[in-house]
Amino acid sequence: MRKFSTSDLDRRKAEIIKKSVGIDYNEYENAGVGFNYEGLMSNTGYSFDIVQAIQKTNMVGNTPLVELSNLTEYARKFSKKGYGARIFLKDEAANLSGSFKARRAAVSVKKAKDLGYKGVIAATSGNYGAAVAALAAKHGLKCIIVQECFDSNNLAQPEILEKARACEAYGAEVIQLSVGPELFYIFLQLLDETGYFNASLYSPYGIMGIETLGYEIAEDMKLNEDRLPDIVICTNAGGGNLTGTARGLRRAGADQTKVYGASVDLQGLHMASDDDFNRKSFTTGHTGFGLPFAINPDRSDVPRSAARPMRYMDRYFTVNQGSVFFITEALAILEGMERGPAGNTSLAVAFKLAQTMPKDQIIVVQETEYSGAGKHHQPQLSFAKKNGIELLFGNPLDEIPGKTIVFPKSANDIKIKEVPLDRIRKSYLKKYLNEDISDEDMVFFSEELNVPKDKVQALIEEVKHERT
């Protein structure tokens, strides 16, 4: 690559992104602070039926919805009489490349092929890289994956290295970078120099690919249980997983199904900090992504993110690292399913919530991911110990991210915490206090934050009062 100028890339960023995504985002901007979200979402050029066909052709989708009968019975041991909701799991590890991210990649890569791009690029340290690489291989496209991988001591987490291995196995070129702003500029430079398609996690193509997941959950439930689930829990990071699943549920008529977010509690660790980068044992599905992207969805690699989790989230829970590792082992031992940690974040929350729900209710964990040498929790824990993290048994709420990992002594000790959505909503609105907010803006905020306009106004007044 040629030597790049950050100022030049900043100046040309909008031009580069427009050329690499095939979308003119300016067409959807409102006069004020908002934009036409549904207009943007309709810009994929693919109907829902076509998306389903694209995924079917590429060995993606129609994954099993499995009832976790043994885990449900385990939860009922800690429930009062008549309680302990049935727990189901959508086994997304059955997708090509082993995660739900293949749904997003299938649509994005097909769009790149249809538009005549010679290759695709994605900036990701996670499962999405493997998904893009696998789908690019099927379509005969070149693929570059840019990873934020190392700290300044050239140390990388086992999970990130495993995902790099998977990308390379599918024929992708993997560019590994140290933590910091370098990733964004290298990504822009590669898009500019190669002319490849930006297979962004946050484009309408990617989110529409996830809609099939929510749709399948609802349709499978109607077919097998003659009803819809009461709750669907989504592991929340950048927000696309929850957004697409919720939209798919609504598409299938599951308007009354509640959609909850779940993240690993890593509050106190800064994701862009060199010192903190390897002091976390989860590379995704944690609050380091979940909260910033809920508060400011447009911090992504496109001007307007199609992942807008606050539009669809009914409640939001966090769980500690030790509890997720505990439930990962419980799933393997009780159900014979060895799966990676991301989906098990939601499973840990579902296990605890199920104990508070009547036995005839249904809670669905909407994804699993494949497990591999680096993704398994044992190498993650070994890496944590080498980085000075203390491993303990005790109260999970005593865990200090970056210093300790606390395992529950039994499943009865698993604890979860609820994140008040109004706290996120107020943080979202703080950015706009100095703006001249119009009636159109208030409609946008109402849709963005999933509350009536009068509630938006009340939250704005609360933020102003808290600032004085």
Residue at which a domain ends, from 165, 187, 202: 202
pLDDT value of residue 126: 83
Percent of the chain residues past pLDDT 70, beyond the cut? 99
Residues 286 and 370 in one domain: yes
> In the predicted model, is pLDDT for residue 296 greater than 90?
yes
Q: What is the mean pLDDT of residues 39-62?
A: 96
Same domain for 393 and 323: yes
Residue where a domain terminates, one of 202, 222, 250 = 202
- Supply the pLDDT for residue 6: 78
> Which domain does 441 fall in, by range?
432-467
Region of poorest pLDDT, from 15-24, 325-334, 362-371, 445-454: 15-24
In a domain, 402, yes or no: yes
Q: What value does the mean pLDDT of the chain take?
A: 94
In 109-256, beta strands by DSSP E: 119-123, 142-150, 173-178, 197-198, 231-235
Instruction: Give the model confidence (pLDDT) of 26-43 as tens digits.
Output: 999 999 999 999 999 998
pLDDT in tens, 240-274: 999 999 999 999 999 999 999 999 999 998 877 88
State how far Cα 148 lies from the chain centre: 17
- Percentage of the chain lying above the pLDDT 90 cut: 82
121 and 265 share a domain? no
Whether 397 maps to a domain, the answer reads yes
Name the nearest CA neighbour of 136 among 178, 107, 164, 177.
107
User: How large is the average pLDDT for residues 420-449?
Assistant: 96
**For the segment 345-382, what is each residue's pLDDT rounded down to a tens digit?**
999 999 999 999 999 999 999 999 999 877 888 889 99
pLDDT tens by residue, 386-419: 999 999 999 999 999 999 999 999 999 999 999 9
Is there a domain that residue 427 lies in? no
What is the mean predicted confidence (pLDDT) over 228-238? 97
User: Does 423 reside within a domain?
Assistant: no
- CB proximity list for 259: less than 8 A, separation 6 or greater: 231, 232, 233, 234, 242, 245, 246, 249, 312, 313, 314
Decide which of 202, 228, 257 is a domain's last residue.
Answer: 202
pLDDT at 462: 96
pLDDT at position 177 is 92
The SS3 call for residue 255 is coil
Same domain assignment for residues 264 and 333: yes
φ, ψ of residue 110 to 5 degrees: the values are: -60, -40
Residues 71 and 176 in one domain: no
Number of domains, the chain:
3
**In a shared domain, residues 368 and 235:** yes
Given a cut of 60, whether residue 445 has pLDDT beyond it is yes
Cβ–Cβ under 8 Å, residues 91 and 63: yes
Whether residues 19 and 130 fall in one domain: yes
Q: Is residue 308 within 8 Å of residue 428, measured between CB atoms?
A: no
pLDDT at 3: 62
Phi/psi region, residue 61 (left: phi>0; alpha: psi -120 to 50; beta: rest), is left
Q: What pLDDT does residue 271 have? A: 78
Same domain, residue pair 210 and 78: yes
Kindly state whether residue 455 falls inside one of the protein's structural domains. Answer: yes
What per-residue confidence (pLDDT) applies to 451? 98
**Residues 161 and 195 both lie in one domain:** yes
The pLDDT value recorded for residue 1 is 57
Rounded mean pLDDT, 304-322: 98
pLDDT of residue 2: 58
- Whether 313 has a pLDDT exceeding 70, the answer reads yes
Q: Is the residue at 159 inside a domain?
A: yes
Quickly count: other Cβ atoms within 10 Å of residue 438's Cβ. Answer: 14
**DSSP codes joined into one string, 370-385:** ---TTTSHHHHHHHHH
Higher pLDDT, 162 or 136: 136
Give the per-residue pLDDT at 341.
Answer: 85
Residue 371 lies in a domain: yes
263 shares a domain with 133: no
Does residue 277 sit in the same domain as residue 147?
A: no
In angstroms, the CA 248 to CA 346 distance is 18
